[in-house]
Amino acid sequence: MAFAIQNSSVPNAWAIPGYVVITRGLLTGLDNEAEFAYVMGHEMGHVSARHSASQISYGMLTQVVLAGAGVALTGSDYSDIALTLGSVGGSLLLLKYSRDDELEADRLGVSYISKLGYSPKNAISAHRNLERVSNEYIRSLGQEPQERGFFEDLLSTHPRTSVRIEELQHIINTTQPVAVRGDGTNRNKFQTLIGDIKKINNVYLEYYDKAVRALKKGNTSEASSLVSKAIAKNKTQPPFHALNGFIMLKNKNYESAKGSFNNALRLDNNYQPAYRGLGAIHYLQKNYAEGIQYLKKSISLFPEDVPSHYFLGMSYFKTKTYTSAIPHLKLFAQAQPKHPSIHGVLGICYEGVNDLSSAYNEYALQLKVNPNNEMGKQATSRVEVLRQKIR
């Protein structure tokens, strides 16, 4: 049950073990306070039991995230690279626990809520509601049925099947009874407290999520119309303004895009996608020094944001600061090894720092990926020269 979306402004986000990221999708998906307490108790159980989670490898994670974004990075459209996950605002962090660890966390979660006076049966309804919210999140990504199967497998540490429910029921049956307070759920108070969050979440579901899907399909006019309606309904959400900025960026309307990204930052000065958007715009306008500052801020907020590394690396490349460019471009190349020019760019960078062996390897990769574009021609002219030098 341990996975999260990096930016907590995004609907349908979840909880990192030990550190709760409370978001609209989770809160509106649960029915009552007891279910919420169980989810928090389960996550706290992982921490108190000192469970060790194994994280999916970074390379695999970036592949999954980039594929899920639905934006092709194999072309030369820089705005497409900027758009990757920009409208969503984060990536998935998946942590996997063993089945025994999950079972112990279930047991602790049930124990915690029982001692607090909640009815332990809410652990079962919490699991069922989490499964529903998970499916809604998959649908919000616009995944096709065959893609959903892969994501659903990733988005649950263990399938929430009847077997899991049976295990929970056994835990509940063997838990020492504790006096239940009130109705054991505190539902009315919980629903009152999340009333405003539900209203905001409805705007996300009705307009924002649809705008994201339209933008992924390249329909910027539909996306613009939908996000404008979202902003009209609620002007306080940074993702709405940032998404509008990415739409403008896609349309190469850079000044309007800057205005939207700055609107997002006025609402939340740590809203990471807006920093990447501004950095990308400055890169495209050849204002490299200013763009670097925005991109460094973006990465400081979200170190795993591959597109920010791309634009930061390219900004350093354009200013011939090759030593600084290499780690960022290398990370991007690992995530997108078939990008049509990244290996040629890396070859130039390695030559610039006199690492001829690495330069030769990158040029060789460029020839495998695309020998006919500008970087391919550069690689063709350099690979033979370097072969002679490194013999």
What angle is formed at CA 343 by the lines to CA 339 and CA 348, rounded to 5 degrees?
140
Q: Is residue 18 part of a domain?
A: yes
Total domains present in the chain:
1
Q: Which residue has the tokens 């950095």?
A: 279
- State the Cα–Cα distance between residues 104 and 86, nearest whole angstrom: 37
Q: Is residue 105 part of a domain?
A: yes
What angle is formed at CA 337 by the lines to CA 332 and CA 342, rounded to 5 degrees?
60
Residue type, 364: A
Q: Is residue 38 part of a domain?
A: yes
Is the CB of residue 304 less than 8 Å from the CB of residue 61?
yes
- State the Cα–Cα distance between residues 240 and 242, nearest whole angstrom: 6
Q: Is residue 109 part of a domain?
A: yes
pTM reported for the whole predicted model: 0.78
Q: Is residue 65 part of a domain?
A: no
Tens digit of each residue's pLDDT, the chain (391 residues): 443 333 333 322 222 222 223 456 777 889 999 999 998 899 888 888 888 765 544 444 444 444 333 334 445 567 677 776 454 444 444 456 777 888 888 999 999 999 999 999 999 999 888 888 777 766 766 665 444 444 444 444 444 456 778 888 999 998 887 889 899 999 999 999 889 888 998 998 899 989 988 998 889 999 999 999 999 999 999 999 999 999 999 999 999 999 999 999 999 999 999 999 999 999 999 999 999 999 999 999 988 888 999 999 999 999 999 999 999 999 999 988 999 999 999 999 999 999 999 999 999 999 999 999 999 999 999 998 998 888 7
- State the Cα–Cα distance between residues 246 and 276, nearest whole angstrom: 10
Is the CB of residue 383 less than 8 Å from the CB of residue 363?
yes
Of 90, 84, 191, 187, nearest in space to 137 by CA: 90
Q: Which residue has the tokens 């050849």?
A: 286
Q: Is residue 134 part of a domain?
A: yes
Cα dist from 298 to 183, 277, 279, 284, 383, whole Å? 46, 9, 8, 17, 35
Q: Is residue 84 part of a domain?
A: no
Q: Is residue 101 part of a domain?
A: yes
Domain that holds residue 7: 3-53+97-193
